[in-house]
Structure 1
Amino acid sequence: MDTWTRRKFLTTSGVAGGVALAAGATAWGVDELLASGSGTPDADASTLVLVTLYGGNDGLNTLVPAADSHYQDLRGDLAYGEDEVLPLDEGLGLNPAMKGLKKLWDDRRLAVVRGVSYPKPDHSHFRSMAIWQTASPTGPLPSGWLGRWLDHAGGGDPLKGVSVGATLPPLMAGETTAGAAVRLGGTALPDAWRRRCSELSRVAADEPALLRRAGASLADLTKVSAAFGGERETERQDPAEPGDDAGDAAGEADKGASAGGQGALGAQLEVVARAIEAGVSTRAYSVSLGGFDTHAGEKATQSRLLAQLDHDLGAFLQRVRATPAGRKVVVAVYSEFGRRPKANASQGTDHGTSGPVFVLGEPVKGGFYGEQPSLTDLTDDDLRTTTDFRSVYATLLRNVLDADPGQVLGGYDETLAFV
């Protein structure tokens, strides 16, 4: 294959792109991921599972101040009553769809970090998500926070950080290395493709650096043989209550713009659970759920999405709890911003600022962290930020990933006590 054709193939094949390609991002199938496991999970290593809710989840109807009369006035028919929410403490309750998380709260295995954002929040989905994923409050950086962790702790292992999905999110792209993207439904590469990838991976030492890294990415695809069949069709189960009409639930599934993210959260978490059980070396996973851009008809859409989140996280934690390694899993759930306190004219809410971050799992010290934003002390009709988002990341880096947060977060190292 001539140089131009090789270069064109490598740079347009979707193996990786932009900074992720420059950092050596790798695309794997589920089979390859599982086959890389030792078969003996490392019971001493904690694992982080980061769940991104794309679209801007409405924090006020997730962690609901139902007892606050100002909430009732601002939200009108969009508000939940005190008798509808799942009571926690301090006049706050969980959305009624989140029964599994309520049980984790009762078991002291759910931490709720309140009022989380960054200074001068941006209402743009893409800029705000870039800030969250790069952990740079003044503007996005060319590398993600987990990518920078991989720069320091990856040790050349392409599976130390894994994103489950077709593409690698910016948060997994470092300055010198990057995580692996594991595609859902992926089986082992066909023999012909495996041979071609092997051929294309042989890039001469005098080729440009970008081309050499792309070749290395393809080489990683040929390192292991399939040890498992294709991804099992076990997900995703319908989180609806028994007796609900499945057809109606399916019809609701296309409501709510996603601004990114995927729908099959249960299928993504199935891959993560199987990888943990197989002893894969991954320490940090990224999964996602889209659909939270609820400008209209929010109540039904968000309730459906939160029910799915609740069901899929509960099933995942129940499964991994059966293994020593699984009992050291910590799950963190965030969104790029919350929504405005006041409902709009379409029974929805518009882009806002701060919102709650949920952290759950066996190692978690449950309870509230951070101050609940006041509904009577707004900034430009938005909630104030009471907790710097980097304090959540610093805690996860230090206490879950055993890393120095200052190295990753530009010197920021203030932590919370939820792990």
Structure 2
Amino acid sequence: MCQHHSPQNNKDLSHDEEHKIWSRRSFLQALGIAGTGTMMLGTNSISASSVSPLTMALSQAETDNILVLVRLVGGNDGLNTIIPFYDYDNYVNARPTIHIPQDSLICLTQDFAIPNYMEPLQAMFGEGKMRAIHGVGYDDPNLSHFTSSDIWATAEDEDRIRNGWLGRYYEHLYPDYFINPPENPAAVQIGNFANLVFEGYDKNYAFVLSGTNQLQDVAENGTMHDMLNLPDCTYGDQLEYMRGSINTTYTYAEKIHAAYGRASNAVAYQDTGIARQLATVARLIKGNLGTKVYMVSLGGFDTHSGQPERHSKLMSELSDAMARFYEDLDAGDMSKYVLGMTFSEFGRRVFENGSEGTDHGAAAPILMFGPGLNGNEFIGEHPSLSATDRGNLVSSIDFRDVYATVMAKWLCIDETVVSEALLDKPYEALELGFDCNGSSTPNPTEQSIGAYMRHRPYYPAENTPYIYFELPVTAHVDIQLYNMIGQRVASIANEMMFSGSHKINIKEKINTRLHTGQYIYSISIQDKKFSKSVVIR
């Protein structure tokens, strides 16, 4: 019987070739060729999503709640993270050399245990500050690091979408986000692991600062780039875009530096990468930066060989850092507002390989932390160790169900907007212990039409850009075209329109020569604005 330590409840690429591709992408982001604005704070690399409309939308969300995403890079072995004690014999048979011995387990319930090197999480579970979601994944899983990472980031089953589930959130708002950026960055990423989570439809260009002293110098004395004296051509438009991005990053450098300086850590963290990252996040939260989403990363989970030593080291570092992070937040009375959530691109296979490791697998648990969970519980059904899919655990919960629940019930985002951010894929909300007080979607005839508006650019023929939108009510519609830094270049429509579907040929409507490149259209209806990028060829 399991003894409680707490009183409470094959789509693989060639592996070497895969890592070449994956490393190249991380290298490009680190150089500032892709990704978001980047700077160094202490010993951490900080990326501020300075130009994604996500930053505007999240900063305006009607909640003080904060989400901290913890990315476990490489594919975390969930079966050695949450051990199914009720099926311990099958677990040991599948892993004769890498299983966690029974005398090295801490049982959180009669059925599930964690390794003793994750002991710092025992108290969090006992105090109702930890939940685990079993068997999270997706159907027909891809076992490539690169592709599966993109699938988790984009919420799309195919590797064809180049924007993330959070980056799509309210993408259609604020066409002038370079000229009028939000007061505070809403999404901050720490670390150089490339990821599409915060990518919107429009590219973000990285701006790199190489140290704390340089950050302070730029924040206090940084020279803003000239946005007026630019050539009147496509190159000039591109230069405006890049300079606007850099200027916005300067603004956020000052904000981040000030928040970091306003607070201090109330506990001593270990000298590990994940601990330093979470210590920085704690200071920014306690320093009232105003950011709603953070992402930190811990790499090294691709445990094909020598797994016992490597995995125990990583999970020990994560567990200790997470426990100290919430203790630190408690000292500032901020922990109740902060939800922590781990995720990884996939799990590992049930059976160990011949190198004391495990190969790429499928489903794995997601761990969630924080007093906002209001209890300790295991969510969903643990995948069977015997009824596997070619040695892989079969997922019982789609990862988009987790995303949707966090967006709708923690960040308090309207469910229609959540659906759009998840590409209109069906989802089931999970019971994770938190809720937004039962808020409902408004009726367009009674309140705002914002939740009912549908729009997108489309190209029925080459060089013929259209705007398609569905108007839920008859209303006055104002459609303007902006360049990528928010300067208005043409009026597309300004008139009363009946409810229903509308298609507008942009070039035909404005009858004005435009440079080739990306633009943003803005649709204003009542007190709402909707916008997306469109390509003019």
Shorter-chain-normalised TM-score: which range?
A: 0.7 to 0.9
TM-superposed deviation, 1:15: 7.6
1:282-321 alignment to 2 at 5 Å? 282-321=291-330
Structure 2 unpaired stretches of 5+: 1-27, 51-60, 435-537
Report the CA distance shift for 1:15/1:146 in structure 2 as closer, same or farther (over 3 A). farther
1:127 to 2:127 alignment: no
- Aligned residue in 2 for 1:27: 38
**Matched-pair contact (CA < 8 Å) for 2:69–2:340:** yes
Q: 1:332 aligns with which of 316, 337, 341?
A: 341
1:267 to 2:304 alignment: no
TM-superposed deviation, 1:186: 3.5
Query: Distance between the aligned counterparts of 1:192 and 1:80, measured in 2?
Result: 50
- Aligned residue in 2 for 1:416: 430
**Larger % of strand: which?**
2
**Matched-pair contact (CA < 8 Å) for 1:66–1:80:** no
- Aligned residue in 2 for 1:341: 350
1:360-375 alignment to 2 at 5 Å? 360-364=369-373, 365-375=375-385
Query: Distance between the aligned counterparts of 2:40 and 2:233, measured in 1?
Result: 27
Give the counterpart letter for 1:119 in structure 2. D
Deviations 1:181-226 (A, max 9, x none): 8979544447589877523666738454543322112112333645
Q: 2:363 aligns with which of 354, 360, 366?
A: 354
Report the CA distance shift for 1:82/1:166 in structure 2 as closer, same or farther (over 3 A). closer
**Matched-pair contact (CA < 8 Å) for 1:164–1:286:** yes
TM-superposed deviation, 1:106: 1.3
Report the CA distance shift for 1:118/1:146 in structure 2 as closer, same or farther (over 3 A). same
SS of 2:162's equivalent? coil
Query: Distance between the aligned counterparts of 2:129 and 2:156, measured in 1?
Result: 29
SS of 1:146's equivalent? coil
Give the counterpart letter for 2:140 in structure 1. K
Query: Distance between the aligned counterparts of 2:349 and 2:47, measured in 1?
Result: 41
Fraction of identical pairs, as percent:
30
1:121-270 alignment to 2 at 5 Å? 121-149=141-169, 151=171, 156-157=181-182, 159-166=185-192, 169-176=195-202, 186-189=212-215, 198-199=224-225, 204=230, 206=232, 208=234, 209-223=237-251, 225=254, 227=258, 237-238=270-271, 264-270=273-279
- Aligned residue in 2 for 1:255: none
**Matched-pair contact (CA < 8 Å) for 1:145–1:171:** yes
Deviations 1:16-54 (A, max 9, x none): 444x4xxxx3334549999x9xxxxx9951000000000
Bigger Rg over Cα: 2
- Aligned residue in 2 for 1:245: none
- TM-score, normalized by length of structure 2? 0.62
SS of 1:83's equivalent? helix
**Matched-pair contact (CA < 8 Å) for 2:79–2:350:** yes
Query: Distance between the aligned counterparts of 1:324 and 1:182, measured in 2?
Result: 33
Query: Distance between the aligned counterparts of 2:207 and 2:410, measured in 1?
Result: 21
**Matched-pair contact (CA < 8 Å) for 2:225–2:243:** no
Using the TM superposition, name which of 95-104 and 321-330 deviates more.
Answer: 321-330
Q: How many residues align?
A: 373
Using the TM superposition, name which of 105-114 and 186-195 deviates more.
Answer: 186-195
1:108 to 2:128 alignment: yes
SS of 2:135's equivalent? strand
- Aligned residue in 2 for 1:55: 74
- Aligned residue in 1 for 2:440: none
- Aligned residue in 2 for 1:65: 84
Report the CA distance shift for 1:80/1:271 in structure 2 as closer, same or farther (over 3 A). same
Give the counterpart letter for 1:299 in structure 2. P
TM-superposed deviation, 1:119: 0.9
Query: Distance between the aligned counterparts of 1:344 and 1:177, measured in 2?
Result: 41
Query: Distance between the aligned counterparts of 1:277 and 1:232, measured in 2?
Result: 8
